[in-house]
Structure 1
Amino acid sequence: MSRQLLQEPVQDLLDALTKSEGPDILSTFTTSPKPLAHEHGLPQLAPFLGRSFHGQEGISAYFDLLSTYLQIENMKFEPEETWVIDESCMAIALRGTATFTWKETQHSWEETFAYRIKVAEDVSDDSEKNGSLKVCEYQIWADTGAAYLASLGNLDDMPE
């Protein structure tokens, strides 16, 4: 599998995350195999952390939880030439930055986060999707401590 072919579905996902005119986020994920979203961290810190979200319904639930609790602005990603691409397992690792605001407390923080995104051929019954490369695994590592402190309204109390 070529680097270019692997990058295209990942770029579609990033466009859906960052551009108002981007594709619908669910359309960037496979239907079969069932996709997975997992944001690493303790589940006690936030309802979207430390849980695996499976299938289109799970992906939708994950992004619904994110939008319920967080406002995300100025999301940017490193250029494609810096992505780590493993062609043998069809996965890409990359970093991004954004400003996050916990909606209930209005506490904000800027952070760098890491993604590992795996792609697969969608083998669904839908002939339009069948055979196209899509995201099948979306893993995130982020600053769970900042999210937790922001949820409590204590983020501003931390020394710099």
Structure 2
Amino acid sequence: MTAISFITSVENMPHHKRTDLLNAATAFCESFAQKKSPDEILSHFSSSSDPLAYEHGLKELTPFLGREFRGRDGVREYFSTISSCLSYEDMRFADYVVDAVENRVAVRGTARFTWTATGESWDEVFAYALGFDDQHKVVSYEVWADSGAAYLASKGQLKQLKSENN
């Protein structure tokens, strides 16, 4: 796509498409932040395509990093795996960036996470990249987060590292 055709396509794009994508992304993020049921969170994902959940990082660090969770069953497995390892509080989202041409939304989140088996917690800033279908359902959910803190907390070593550096 040339720069001129991109500008023309953006100019001709209905304003409501951007608003619809922003509303869909906000609804998804808020359902997660409010700790809604897995079924409600999953309802934001496409049922007509093969959705993907992927959290970037080395797969050797935690059971949810570096693996593609595909299809609605895979996405359900991702969220089940996350909830078996982590709890969180004070999750908030801000700085939504909507790309209506590509049906994508990027957003920054913050929360306090706890690795449940060790009880070790950390404050984190993370990012989501969400891809949507034409019905404004999530088809791709990518996460960039602090995999180092998650790994250290899973091993019970985060608190010790924090105290050594204070």
Normalised by the shorter chain, which TM-score bucket? Answer: 0.7 to 0.9
Which aligned pairs between 1:52-91 and structure 2 lie closer than 5 A?
52-78=68-94, 82-91=95-104
Q: Distance in 2 between matches of 1:35 and 1:11?
A: 18
CA positional deviation for 1:20:
4.8
| Higher relative contact order, structure no. (Cα contacts within 8 Å, ≥ 6 residues apart) | 1
Q: Distance in 1 between matches of 2:101 and 2:28?
A: 21
Question: Which residue of structure 1 aligns with residue 63 of structure 2?
Answer: 47
Is the 2:22–2:96 contact (alpha carbons within 8 Å) kept by the matching residues of 1? Answer: no
CA positional deviation for 1:152:
0.4
Letter in 1 for 2:86: L
Q: Distance in 2 between matches of 1:135 and 1:10?
A: 8
CA positional deviation for 1:21:
5.9
Letter in 2 for 1:70: L
Question: Which residue of structure 2 aligns with residue 26 of structure 1?
Answer: 42
Question: Which residue of structure 1 aligns with residue 108 of structure 2?
Answer: 95
Classify the secondary structure of the residue corresponding to 1:101. Answer: strand
Classify the secondary structure of the residue corresponding to 2:109. Answer: strand
Which aligned pairs between 1:98-137 and structure 2 lie closer than 5 A?
98-121=111-134, 132-137=135-140
Q: Distance in 1 between matches of 2:36 and 2:154?
A: 30
Question: Which residue of structure 2 aligns with residue 146 of structure 1?
Answer: 149
Which digits, 9 at most, give the CA deviation of each residue in 1:19-75, with x for residues without a partner?
256880110000121110000000000000000101110010000000000011110
The runs of 5 or more residues in structure 1 that have no matched partner are: 122-131
Q: Given the two structures, how large is their TM-score scaled by the length of structure 1?
A: 0.87
Structure (1/2) with the larger helix percentage: 2
1:156 to 142, 156, 159: 159
Which digits, 9 at most, give the CA deviation of each residue in 1:55-108, with x for residues without a partner?
110010000000000011110001xxx322111111011100000000000000
Query: Residues 21, 100 of structure 1: CA spacing in aligned structure 2 closer, same or farther, 3 A cutoff?
Result: closer
Q: Given the two structures, how large is their TM-score scaled by the length of structure 2?
A: 0.84
Letter in 2 for 1:38: Y
CA positional deviation for 1:15:
2.0
Higher CA-based Rg: 2
Pairwise CA RMSD of aligned residues?
Answer: 1.5
